[in-house]
Amino acid sequence: MNILFVRAGRLARAWAEIPGAARRVFPAACLFLAGCAAPEVFPGGREFVVRRETDFFHYGPAQPGRPEKLPDGTFLDVLKKDSAYSYVKLSDGRTGYVGSADLSTAPPRAPAVPFDPPEPAQAAEPPPPNFQEIPEEISIPAP
């Protein structure tokens, strides 16, 4: 218990050595800087996916009226991610705000597989079936 009093005494002496004006400004500066988390900005957008059904605000979280609902699994690009809300762009081009807690990074997209279907003239047509011919694998019992 004495150790706590000794450390508190050292802290009080160190606090007393700080000039008066700095002593008044220091606590306010600490509180201000603690609340000033810089938002993440993604100029080209960064793909995220909605984890659960969430509200989509066109004009901001304080907009009048009801927000639109986004279903879970909706892919969107995050343009600016702040602590509580993120400014996003939907695949149809609309922009708005969603709760940052409802987003998670999107899984990587599957690589595009080139597919060149054959031209109709190049496609080989199967021969017509011959119903008079009996395959060797089938044996017909004698009457």
117-126 pLDDT, tens digit per residue, is: 667 666 677 7
Hey, what are 136's tokens?
A: 């060797």
Ramachandran region, residue 93 (left: φ > 0; alpha: ψ -120 to 50; beta: rest): left
Per-residue confidence (pLDDT) for residue 97, from 0 to 100:
92
Question: Does the pLDDT value for residue 4 go beyond 60?
Answer: no
Stronger pLDDT, 69 or 112, i.e. the higher one: 69
**CA pair distance 91, 110, nearest whole angstrom:** 17
**Predicted local confidence at residue 98, as pLDDT:** 92
Angstrom CA distances, 122 to 29, 92, 103, 127, 130, stand at 76, 38, 48, 15, 24
pLDDT digits (tens, 9 = 90+) for 77-103: 888 887 788 888 988 888 999 988 888
What is the tens place of the pLDDT at every residue in 63-73? 888 888 999 88
Is the pLDDT confidence value at 76 over 70?
Answer: yes
What pLDDT does 48 receive?
81
Q: Which amino acid is at 126?
A: P
- Residue 112 predicted with pLDDT over 70: yes
Check pLDDT > 80 for residue 10: no
pTM of the model: 0.50
